[in-house]
Chain A
Amino acid sequence: MSAQTRNNQSIVRKLLLLTVAMFGFGYALVPLYDVFCDITGINGKTGERVETSSQVVDKSRLITVQFVASLNENMPWEFTPVVNQIQVHPGESTKIEYRARNKTDFEIIGQAVPSVAPGQAADYFKKTECFCFTEQKLAANEEKLMPVIFTVDSDLPEHIKELTLSYTFFNKSSSEETEKLTHNHNMNHDQEI
């Protein structure tokens, strides 16, 4: 084996390693992105559940918190906040509720995705209890009040006076399952052709 062939092989080995590493890096972008979001508040992603923290309540400031509800496609529920907006002091723990109703004759599992605007405030919006932490199951025609307990961190930057909390419910029942239930005794949509 010539020196050149050996050199070629060693270069190729190193470069292949780099290739695999970069493929891995593509996947590493997933957790890196979450860290990036945490720092910068992209998409207003709010953090995970926090334990109740005994914060000092800042009585000098009043923050308006607005509540918004959305449903993603093929989510046959009704979903609204019970109150549209409230005012809270930073550091104060507050409970609010959303109302959800399953409009169908079968059970549907939903997952709520929270988002806070402005994104910069997301990091200061702490939830101690939220229906978005787990999947929610509603039986046929069931209506349920879904509570959120949150605290706006007293470190919230001064210039932020109002923030919006949005939840979007996605249908988590697998599409085949829902389809079967929706049209259990009739043909499905595709076969109509």
Chain B
Amino acid sequence: MSDAHHDHKPTGIGRWLFSTNHKDIGTMYLWFSLTMLFVGGTMALIIRAELFQPGLQIVEPEFFNQMTTLHGLIMVFGVIMPAFVGLANWQVPMMIGAPDMALPRMNNWSFWLLPTAFSMLVASLIMSIMGMGSAPNFGWTFYAPLSTTFAPASTDYFIFSVHLLGISSVMGALNIIATIMNMRAPGMTYMKMPIFVWTWFITAYLLIAVMPVLAAAVTMMLTDRNFGTSFFSAAGGGDPLLFQHVFWFFGHPEVYIMILPAFGVVSQIIPTFARKKLFGYTSMVYATASIAFLSFIVWAHHMVTTGMPVAAELFFMYATMLIAIPTGVKVFNWVSTMWRGSLTFETPMLFAIAFVVLFTIGGFTGLMLAIAPADFQYQDTYFVVAHFHYVLVTGSLFTIMAAVYYWIPKWTGNMYDEKLGKVHFWLTCISANVLFFPMHFVGLAGMPRRIPDYSIQFTEFNQMASIGAFVFGFSQLLFLYIVIKAIKGGNKATTEVWEGAEGLEFTLPSPAPFHSFTTPPQVK
């Protein structure tokens, strides 16, 4: 620390409101994400409680639809994406040897847009509960014309909220790209960057490429609803299917936006606890890039039942199947990293291993879904629900938790409670499987998604899933407790934190100083 002045922390609420510090902003992103996890999780529990048995017991079908819609939107835009941005804020400067993010003021702005956007979205739900109109009820994919001509008035709130989220994400991505391109320590060439930084670099480009397309889609919705255009209405020469094409042109890369940083996290954690260098660094980078590229040419595999011509169905089927190759490379690399390592199983490693297995199961069902003739049967059933929850919960969410356990000693200077961490892991991992695995069965047996009530032959597996859901949900309170406990105190963490840890962040003292590297380190 050349200048003590730099380590001066502002105090009071102003520290957070006007923060331009990458760590404080990262912390806010992570807390925001955890808060929204409980909000969206509560909605999931309402859904699962209603689905515990056939018949309607708790909510009206109309309210059920609002729950599925907001659960999806909150988990995608309010939990997974902000959590990864938070991790990037904390870690990218430390991992590339920079003092802070490249554009600190923009960083502040991009965070504070998020609570604004979600207040608006949640406000529409509160109004709905109070009996004033309906919250968005058309699913997180908001297909026209259900979301245009037939949507409640609150849809305009929803549109504005999506616009804000888009601006927030794009600014976050701009900042990450500028930081990575411009602020690397001397000697840190691109091919020496940690994989987490690489995956975020690629993710940030994906964000910039597709968030504006989503913004265009909701703008078209807005003008269709209020200003007499007919992008999505056949009556005026438009086409409701156009919406789905535009949406999924955004939507498929969006899926990878939520999983690529997870790949990065796991690629940091597994080598640490295997005490062995990551296997196939170069192929990891190329695999990530090819997954990102392929994500742009597979969007219509979400639309096989819309009546596409056979030639298009075949093209999208083949392109989608190709994704299995780079994804396979990654999984093989992780397994090879563990092969003949010297393994220990601290909580982050447990989550990382669970990720590799469970994400791979999600990948397998993804491959099955790619097969168009079978997809006619899978489309819009619980099989799809099982698939994307394996990818997003046991995939993305597990790695976010792994990352928190892995880096929280560096953030707070304290070790978390290892015993409780392990309890949290086992509760989470088992309950997640009890929750999501039976969904495969009911889906294959013919249960459509987004229904508040079902026929009796689906009862038993739904009950299993609901029980799993409640255990899973309440286990996360333990996570909250562990995090607070680590912030308040605990065994002091060393500079290196983990025996096998490598990387610039583990050369900084724990907790890391307010401004990470004021003197750039030299990377050999």
A binds B: yes
Residues on A facing B (Cβ under 8 Å) = 4, 7-8, 11-12, 15-16, 18-27, 29-30, 33, 37, 40-43, 45, 72, 111, 113, 119-120, 168, 170-172
Instruction: Report which of B215, B235, B307 forms a contact with A26, defined as CB distance below 8 A.
Output: B215
In the bound complex, CA of A19 to CA of B170 (Å): 8
B196 proximal to A (CB < 8 A):
no
B212, A25: Cβ atoms under 8 Å? yes
Residues of B within 8 A of A119 (CB): 307, 309
Query: Using Cβ atoms and an 8 Å threshold, which residues of chain B touch A168?
Result: 234
What are the 3 tightest A-B residue pairs by CB atom distance, in nearest-first order?
Answer: A26-B216, A170-B235, A23-B212
Question: B182 to A25, Cβ gap below 8 A?
Answer: no
Residues of A within 8 A of B216 (CB): 23-27, 29
Question: Contact at B231–A30, with CB atoms within 8 Å?
Answer: yes
Give 6 A-B contacts (CB < 8 Å), ordered by A residue. A19-B174, A19-B211, A25-B212, A26-B216, A26-B249, A168-B234
- The distance in angstroms between the C-alpha atoms of A27 and B215, with both chains bound, is 10
User: How far apart sit A171 and B231, CA to CA, in the bound complex (Å)?
Assistant: 17
Given contacts A11-B178, A26-B214, 6 further A-B contacts (CB under 8 A): A4-B102, A18-B209, A26-B216, A29-B246, A170-B233, A170-B235
Interface residues of B in 172-204 (CB under 8 A from A): 173-174, 177-178, 181-183
- Chain B residue nearest to A15 in the complex (CB): B174
Least CB distance from A34 to B in Å reads 9
Tell me the complex Cα distance, A7–B209, Å: 21
Contact of B235 among A4, A25, A45, A113 (CB under 8 A): A113
Binding site for A on B (CB under 8 A): 102-103, 170, 173-174, 177-178, 181-183, 208-217, 219-220, 231, 233-236, 239, 241-242, 245-246, 249, 307-309, 311-312
Q: When the two chains form their complex, are residues B234 and A170 in contact, meaning their CB atoms are under 8 A apart?
A: yes
Q: A72 to nearest B CB, angstroms? A: 7
CB distance from A30 to the nearest CB of B (A): 6
CB pair A25 B241 closer than 8 Å: no
**Do the beta carbons of B311 and A40 come within 8 Å of each other?**
yes
Closest to B181 in A: A11
Known: A23-B216, A27-B216, A42-B241. A8 touches B309 (CB 8 A): no
Contact B208 A11 (CB under 8 A): no
Cβ contact of B212, chosen from A7, A22, A37, A72, cutoff 8 A: A22
Q: How far is the CA of A25 from the CA of B213 in the complex (A)?
A: 7
Identify whether the interface residues of B are mostly helix, strand, loop, or mixed. Answer: helix
Complex CA–CA separation, A18 to B208 (angstroms) = 7
Question: For residue B182, which residues in chain A have a CB less than 8 angstroms away from its CB?
Answer: 4, 7-8, 11
Give A102 Cβ to nearest chain B Cβ, in Å: 17
In the bound complex, CA of A72 to CA of B240 (Å): 14
Q: Are B235 and A120 in contact (CB under 8 A)?
A: no
Residue of A with least CB distance to B204: A15
Pairwise interchain contact A23-B213, C-beta atoms closer than 8 A:
yes
What's the nearest-Cβ distance from chain A to residue B186, in Å?
Answer: 13
Q: Please, which residues of chain B bring their CB within 8 A of the CB of A41? A: 309
Please, which residue of chain A has its CB at the minimum distance from the CB of B102? A8
CA distance A72 to B249 in the complex (A): 28
- Complex CA distance for A173 and B242, rounded to whole angstroms: 24
Query: Within the complex, what minimum Cβ distance (angstroms) separates B97 from chain A?
Result: 14
Are the CB atoms of B242 and A4 closer together than 8 Å? no
- Beyond A26-B213, A30-B242, A119-B309, whether A113 also contacts B170 by CB under 8 A is no
* Complex CA–CA separation, A29 to B220 (angstroms): 12
> Which residues of the partner chain B approach A42 to less than 8 Å between Cβ atoms?
241, 307-309, 312
Within the complex, which residue of A7, A11, A72, A111 is in contact with B236, where a contact is CB–CB below 8 Å? A111
In the assembled complex, which residues on chain A have CB atoms less than 8 Å from the CB atom of B245? 29, 33
A29 interface neighbour in B178, B209, B242, Cβ under 8 Å: B242
Q: How far is the CA of A13 from the CA of B209 in the complex (A)?
A: 15
Q: How far is the CA of A116 from the CA of B121 in the complex (A)?
A: 40
A95 vs B102: C-alpha distance when bound (angstroms): 69
Candidates A19, A29, A40; contact of B208 at CB < 8 Å: A19
* CB–CB B213/A11 < 8 A: no
A26–B212 contact, CB under 8 A?
Answer: yes
Contact check, B178 vs A12: say whether CB atoms are below 8 A apart: yes
Q: How far is the CA of A4 from the CA of B215 in the complex (A)?
A: 31
Complex CA–CA separation, A70 to B177 (angstroms): 52
- Measured between beta carbons, the chain B residues less than 8 angstroms from A15 are 173-174, 177-178, 208
Bound-complex Cα distance A56 to B231 (A):
38
A22: chain B residues within 8 A (beta carbon)? 208-213
Residues of chain A within 8 A of B307, CB atoms compared: 42-43, 119
Residues of B within 8 A of A171 (CB): 235
Return A94 CB to nearest CB of chain B, in Å. 25
Closest B residue by C-beta to A114: B234
A2 to chain B, nearest CB (A): 11
Q: A18-B208, A33-B242, A40-B309 are in contact. Are A8 and B213 (CB under 8 A)?
A: no
B312 touches A33 (CB 8 A): no
Asked if residues B181 and A120 are in contact (CB atoms below 8 Å), the reply is no
B-chain residues with CB within 8 Å of residue A33 when the two chains form the complex: 239, 242, 245
- Which residues of chain B are within 8 angstroms of A43 by Cβ–Cβ distance? 239, 241, 307
Closest residue of chain B to A117 (Cβ to Cβ) is B307
Shortest A183–chain B CB gap in Å is 20
Instruction: Pick from A16, A18, A20, A168 the residue with the most CB of B within 10 Å.
Output: A18
How far, in whole Å, are A18 and B178 apart by their CA atoms in the complex? Answer: 14
Contact check, A40 vs B209: say whether CB atoms are below 8 A apart. no
- How far is B106's CA from A16's CA once the two chains are assembled, in angstroms? 13
Per the bound structure, the CA–CA distance linking A72 and B233 in Å amounts to: 11
Residues of B within 8 Å of A29, CB to CB, are: 213, 216, 242, 245-246, 249
Q: Roughly how many angstroms separate A43 CA and B183 CA in the complex, as a whole number?
A: 50
Shortest beta-carbon distance from B183 to chain A in Å:
7
Of B211, B212, B231, the most chain A CB neighbours within 10 A belong to B212
